[in-house]
Structure 1
Amino acid sequence: MTAAIATKGQVKGWCPGALRPMQSGDGLIARVRPRVGMLSLDQARALAGLAERLGNGHIDLTRRANLQIRGLLDEDLAKLQAELDRLGLIDADAEVEAIRNIMVAPLSAMGSTVRRIAADLERALMGDRRLVKLPTKFGLLVDEGGPASLANERADICLRVVEGQVAVGLDSRDGTYWLGACPPSTAIEIVVRALHTFLDSDPHRRLRDLPIEDQHKIHSALLPSLSALPPFEKTDGRALGMVQGAVGIAAPFGRLEAACLGRLTDLAADAGATELRLSPWRTLYVAVRDEAAGRSLLESAQALGLIIQADDPMLRIEACPGAPDCESSSVDTRGDARRLASLVAARGFAGSIHVSGCAKGCAKSAPSDLLLVGSAGRYSLTRGGETRGTVEARDLAAALAETSHG
């Protein structure tokens, strides 16, 4: 089906799509949602070429396991959308696109139960017009545990494949509440029932924001179809380097340049890969032919400036695009974040850091030990919820020194 072409992107303030892009300081941002959490190598090469040819060459990996092409012009949107349609990476309309928010365990293999469920979920979302009324940030995930588990990620509805069953969890104010399990064959019907029951509530909010009585209505609608939960453990999420027949490679602050993505795709092909798998940790996973191929790919990725080690200090720093990419920012957040990364080890700072170009905190995914918020070329400092003054952008060493006392 050919996608409906959206008009010029002028509105700000929501998660952008490819059919409904968002204006930023460096032009329009179009978000591409890969099917079942992966891109074929041909799709990845094509996206790199589109970012180079129609955008400014900047590609961002997002916390929802998508990617964004930046620096687009209004007059090039139709070209972009036509190419994404050819690649199978666009939806029939912007309403469906906005709700196709599914994170998939990145190490799950093609043809696995996880991938089949994710594909069926996508078809269910696209085929039921009532579901376009879901909040645009409403999310689902399909996990299977293991070294790159999504267990610690937050989604409105969580599915976990375990011991041949599918555990079903719903988001609550206290995190995921696991209701019970079902056979894979009934998982989609149960999710759709949960979505319709959610939409019966008023007003429509994120699932965790519903009144307790509305949450209980959803529980009651699902419980008759669920059996007891099989035991399973939570495991850590992001894993880098060699991991379970694949390699994990992170992009600093989630930013890939088009040329870097193109080169990485060629390297992945040399290592025997057929696709790139996305994750919510701004990390790509590549299934490789063998360990030797994986080691070679990791060395080449590191030479490209990508992150392959779990103890890299840049992994402890989150930073929004900042100036000049974002017109709300007066500071070069990612340049400053790189300088902070070179300082943290020398200064003995072991915590997490978030660098925001303004008070919105767009890149902030979790509480951080040190928060820097830009305004008028300076940063205000907050540590542990306590304000610690301000610092000039040119003197970031003072930020760490200031927070190392008390």
Structure 2
Amino acid sequence: MSTAIRPSACPGLLRIVPALDGGICRIKLAGGAISATQALAVAEAAQAYAGGVIEATNRANLQIRGIGAEHQALIAKLLAAGLGPTSAAGDDVRNLMLSPSAGIDPLRLLDTRPLAGQILETLQSHPRFHELSAKFAVQLDGGEALAMLEHHHDLWLAALERDGQLLLAFGLAGCPVDKPVAAVPLEQGHELLVAVLELFLEQALPEQTRMRHLLAQMPVSDFVALLDQRLSRPLLNIDGWQRPAAAEGLHLGTYPQSDSGRVYVGAVTPLGRLDPDVLKGVAQLAQRYGDASLRFTPWQSLLLPFIALADAPAVTAQLSQLGLLCSPGQALAHLIACTGSNGCGKALAETKGDAVRLAALLQRHGRCLDVHLSACSRSCAAAHVAAATLLAVAPGRYDVYFRDAAQPGFGTLHARNLSIEAAEAVLEARPRSHLDD
């Protein structure tokens, strides 16, 4: 891999970014999937060359934190496990989100993995696309019941069926629950992606690194008109189509696959953290009971697919023994927290520890609420707006926001400068209909 790696604030596999607790390496997983053998390599690398902290990210990737002087040995081990890009310059742009249940979801309209493989290969091998921002992201939605539909992407594509034909609806600078721009036949999906990315790169100014930046200056209708001219067939009008809502909570628990008699078992990593021994244990379960693969999710959880229904209780029990959260009745399974002041120089509070305290208080009162603790306004831990957000203003002190579709950012500011105990009391007083969603 001789191609130069461009500067960026975002970590990658080949670019270790410094933090308070050492270097950070981000391993981008194709559709969130990783083999058990690769997972063991990640665990061994974190153990040998870093501080032993592995993170599951909100875009279904993995990060290793606390990397020291032997960063080249760590990179070499991950590359040897097949976890790197096909070209060094292609590492940044491998930002393609699929459903964690791609190919196995009983409600899927199509198996997105073949097209995803084609897209990832194009992103890595097309030199022009290496100019895209390391944050520029694409979503490919196959209509699965288990789907994260709230994360914004620069381009999203979603499967639908019309008059017996599979189509891909698409939208720009949004997510699949938005009104689509238009659609193309499934077989034209790759052509559409290439055309959208090339047009974006031609039209965007250097400072317009994301699709939303370009569309703030260029009407969507103008972009689509130029796009239509590039395609081998005209865009299709699908006025009135709306992507059905995804099911709630399918990333946690045991659920049937489309394969008869097989299930996947989902468990949440506590606040997105795994230590090497836990990841090794999960990999060994995948080898013993499943198809020797794991899938990470945008909820900072993981799935073990292809489990025999009769084995699911044993797998769940062993995941729980490893320290993973396997029940929706565990308050900590519903909390998100960023790295916090132990690892990030921009953090105003130690969010991980505060989240554990908050979870204990919520558990005591029998509440399981979707709460996001953010140590600063950048919101690194959540790519969507949680029902409630605690935004740090000082160590152990938070402003409390409630999600409000009419308000930008975290929503409506409800209270300022509260302790964790006071914040929990505010959450407890909030009607369940406003938070248990």
Whether the aligned pair in 2 keeps the contact of 1:113 and 1:161 (CA below 8 Å) is no
Whether the aligned pair in 2 keeps the contact of 1:117 and 1:188 (CA below 8 Å) is yes
Whether the aligned pair in 1 keeps the contact of 2:160 and 2:169 (CA below 8 Å) is no
- Displacement of 1:52 after TM fit? 0.9
- Displacement of 1:97 after TM fit? 1.0
Tell me the alpha carbon deviations over residues 187-243 of structure 1, each in whole angstroms, 9 at most, x when there is no partner. Answer: 111110011111122323322331364522332244544345587523136511112
Tell me the alpha carbon deviations over residues 154-195 of structure 1, each in whole angstroms, 9 at most, x when there is no partner. Answer: 222222234462413123468644234434332111110011
Task: State the partner residue of 2:435.
Answer: none
Amino acid at match of 1:386: L
Tell me the alpha carbon deviations over residues 348-369 of structure 1, each in whole angstroms, 9 at most, x when there is no partner. Answer: 6665322223343322333345
Task: State the partner residue of 1:388.
Answer: 415
Task: State the partner residue of 1:243.
Answer: 255
- Displacement of 1:402 after TM fit? 4.9
Task: State the partner residue of 1:306.
Answer: 324
Partner of 1:52: helix, strand, or coil?
helix
C-alpha change, 1:162 and 1:243, in structure 2 (3 Å) is: farther
Q: Which runs of 4+ in 1 moved over 6 A?
A: none
- Displacement of 1:311 after TM fit? 4.0
1:206 to 210, 216, 222: 210
1:130 to 128, 131, 142: 128
C-alpha change, 1:236 and 1:154, in structure 2 (3 Å) is: farther
- Displacement of 1:339 after TM fit? 1.5
C-alpha change, 1:173 and 1:125, in structure 2 (3 Å) is: closer
Whether the aligned pair in 2 keeps the contact of 1:353 and 1:371 (CA below 8 Å) is yes
Tell me if 1:327 matches 2:345.
yes
- Displacement of 1:25 after TM fit? 1.2
Task: State the partner residue of 1:145.
Answer: 143
Tell me if 1:226 matches 2:226.
no
C-alpha change, 1:227 and 1:213, in structure 2 (3 Å) is: same
How does 1:79-158 map onto structure 2 within 5 Å?
A: 79-92=73-86, 94-109=88-103, 113-158=111-156
**Matches of 2:253 and 2:220 in 1, distance apart?**
40
Structure 2: gaps spanning 5 or more residues:
105-109, 257-262, 403-411, 431-437
Partner of 1:380: helix, strand, or coil?
strand
Tell me if 1:379 matches 2:365.
no
Task: State the partner residue of 1:169.
Answer: 170
- Displacement of 1:114 after TM fit? 0.8
2:18 to 15, 20, 23: 23
Give the percent of matched residue pairs that are identical in Structure 1 and Structure 2.
Answer: 27
**Matches of 1:51 and 1:303 in 2, distance apart?**
21
Task: State the partner residue of 2:408.
Answer: none
**Matches of 1:197 and 1:358 in 2, distance apart?**
34
**Matches of 1:126 and 1:324 in 2, distance apart?**
34
Whether the aligned pair in 1 keeps the contact of 2:86 and 2:125 (CA below 8 Å) is no
Return the TM-score normalized by structure 1. Answer: 0.87
Whether the aligned pair in 2 keeps the contact of 1:391 and 1:398 (CA below 8 Å) is yes
Tell me the alpha carbon deviations over residues 286-310 of structure 1, each in whole angstroms, 9 at most, x when there is no partner. Answer: 2123112222111111122212223
Structure 1, 269-278 or 152-161: larger mean CA deviation: 152-161
Amino acid at match of 1:134: L
Structure 1, 313-322 or 251-260: larger mean CA deviation: 313-322
**Matches of 1:28 and 1:399 in 2, distance apart?**
33
Structure 1, 365-374 or 285-294: larger mean CA deviation: 365-374
2:198 to 173, 187, 196: 196
Tell me the alpha carbon deviations over residues 68-112 of structure 1, each in whole angstroms, 9 at most, x when there is no partner. Answer: 001001x312112212221221125554211110111221238x7
**Matches of 1:299 and 1:225 in 2, distance apart?**
53
C-alpha change, 1:40 and 1:166, in structure 2 (3 Å) is: farther
Whether the aligned pair in 2 keeps the contact of 1:145 and 1:151 (CA below 8 Å) is no
**Matches of 1:65 and 1:90 in 2, distance apart?**
15
Whether the aligned pair in 2 keeps the contact of 1:252 and 1:315 (CA below 8 Å) is yes
Whether the aligned pair in 1 keeps the contact of 2:156 and 2:174 (CA below 8 Å) is no
**Matches of 1:351 and 1:241 in 2, distance apart?**
17
Task: State the partner residue of 1:187.
Answer: 189
